[in-house]
Structure 1
Amino acid sequence: MKKNKISFETSFWPGHVAGNPFKAIKAFFDYADLDYYKQSLTEVVIYSYKRECYEAKNPSTAFIFYTAINTFLKLCYCLPEKSKKWKVTASLHSETTFHLSSLTEEEYDNPFIVFQKAFDENTLEEFESFLCLILELSLSPYDGYPYSDLTTPYIYLIKMLDAASLMKERGIEKISKSPESVC
C-alpha cells in the first residue's frame, strides 16, 4: 500500500522546498525566529476578539504568517511518527532557560511528546481550522466571540513552537538499536 505524503508547501515563505521535516523546521526558524511566531500568533488571537484589524496597514503579513504556520502544523503532524527512529540530542546547556518555555520537564527532555499530545487532542484539520478561524476573525472589522475554543489549540501551538525550536537548537540523532546479548 502506498503511503500518502504530506506536502509541506515550504516554497511559499522560505523560497525553497524542504521535503525532510527536520530540514523544513530549520528553514521555518531561519525564516523568522521563535519570538516572532509566538508574538504574531498571540496578536492574531487577541485581534480575533477586537473590532480592529490585524496588520491593517500590511495585510500580506497575515497571509505570509498563515502559510508559515500552516506548513509548521504539517511538519508537526509528521513528527510523532519520526520519534520512533529519532531522538533529540541531550541538552548540554544548564536548565536555567527551561523556565522560559511552555514545556514541562518531561516535554523538555523529549519534545516529541508535545506533538503526540497535541495531535491526540486535536486533528491536523482542527488545527488548520483554528488557524483559519483566528485569521478570519482578526482580519475582520467586526468584533465578536468566536464560536469555538481558541484556548486549547493556541496553547498546543505555542508548545509545539517551543518544542520545535528546542529540537532545532539541540539537534536530533538517529536512535541506534542496541545489539542483542546472547546468553
Structure 2
Amino acid sequence: MKKKKMSFETNFWYAYEVENPFEVIDAFFDYADLDHYKNGLAEAVLYINKQEVYKKEYPGRVFLFYTIIRSFLKACFHLKDKGKKWKLKQEPDCKSILHQGSLTREEYANPFTVFKIAFAENSLDEFEFFLCEIIHIALSPNVVEFDYDLVTPYIHLVKMLDASQMMRESGLEKIKKIITPLE
C-alpha cells in the first residue's frame, strides 16, 4: 500500500511547495527568525482576553502567520519519527540554562524527543485546532469564552520552535547502522 504524502502547504508563504520536512524547517527560519515566531505567537495568545483585535491595521499578516505556523506543525509531525534515523552532527554545548530556551537537558541533547512527546500528547488535528482557535479569538473584538486547554499546546509549540532552531544550528546527519557479524 502506498503512503499518502502530506502537503506542507508552503506555497502560500514560500516560493514553492517543499516536500521534505527538514527543508520546510529551513524555509521556515529563512522566512523569519525564532524571535519573530515566538513573539507573534505570544502576542496572539495575549489578545485572547482583550476586547481588541490583534493586528487590526493589517490582519493579512495574521493569516500569513497562521499558514506559516501550520506548515511548521505539519513538518514537526513528520519529524517525530525521524529520531531513529537522524542525530545532531555536533553535540550541543549547553553553556547555561538560558541557552537551552524552553528545552530540558534531555530535549536539548535529542530535540526529536520534543516532537515525539508533543504529538503523543496532542494530535496534529488538535494542534491545528489550537492554532485556529488562537487566531480566531485574537481577531475577535469581543472576549470569547472557551472551555479547552490552550496552554499545553502553546508550551509544546514553543518547545518545537526551540528544538527546530537548535537542530538547524547544530546540523543533522543520518545514523549509520553498524552491522556486526554473527558468531
TM range (shorter): over 0.9
1:143 is aligned to 2:143 = yes
Indicate the SS of the match to 2:173.
Answer: strand
Match for 1:19: what amino acid? E
**Offset from partner CA, 1:142-173 (integer Å, 9 cap, x none):** 01332211100000000000001111111110
> Shift of residue 98 of structure 1?
4.6
Indicate the SS of the match to 1:173.
Answer: strand
Paired residue for 1:127? 127
Paired residue for 2:46? 46
Paired residue for 1:18? 18
Paired residue for 1:96? 95
Aligned pair in 2 of structure 1 residues 91, 98: CA closer, same or farther (>3 Å)?
A: farther
Match for 1:12: what amino acid? F
**Offset from partner CA, 1:94-128 (integer Å, 9 cap, x none):** 31255240000000000000000000000000000
Paired residue for 1:113? 113
Match for 2:68: what amino acid? A
- CA distance in 2 between partners of 1:170 and 1:177 (Å): 21
> Shift of residue 182 of structure 1?
4.4
- CA distance in 2 between partners of 1:163 and 1:116 (Å): 12
- CA distance in 1 between partners of 2:15 and 2:147 (Å): 35
Indicate the SS of the match to 1:96.
Answer: coil
Indicate the SS of the match to 2:84.
Answer: coil
- CA distance in 1 between partners of 2:10 and 2:169 (Å): 20
- Give yes or no for contact 1:49–1:146 (8 Å, CA) kept in 2: no
Aligned pair in 2 of structure 1 residues 51, 25: CA closer, same or farther (>3 Å)?
A: same
- Give yes or no for contact 1:98–1:108 (8 Å, CA) kept in 2: no
Paired residue for 2:153? 153
1:34 is aligned to 2:34 = yes
- CA distance in 2 between partners of 1:13 and 1:49 (Å): 29
Match for 1:169: what amino acid? E
Superposed CA RMSD in Å reads 1.3
1:178 is aligned to 2:171 = no
- CA distance in 1 between partners of 2:60 and 2:15 (Å): 16
Indicate the SS of the match to 1:143.
Answer: coil
> Shift of residue 28 of structure 1?
0.4
Task: Between 1-10 and 122-131, report the one with greater CA deviation.
Answer: 1-10
- CA distance in 2 between partners of 1:95 and 1:81 (Å): 25
Q: TM-score, normalised by structure 1?
A: 0.95
- Give yes or no for contact 1:90–1:109 (8 Å, CA) kept in 2: no
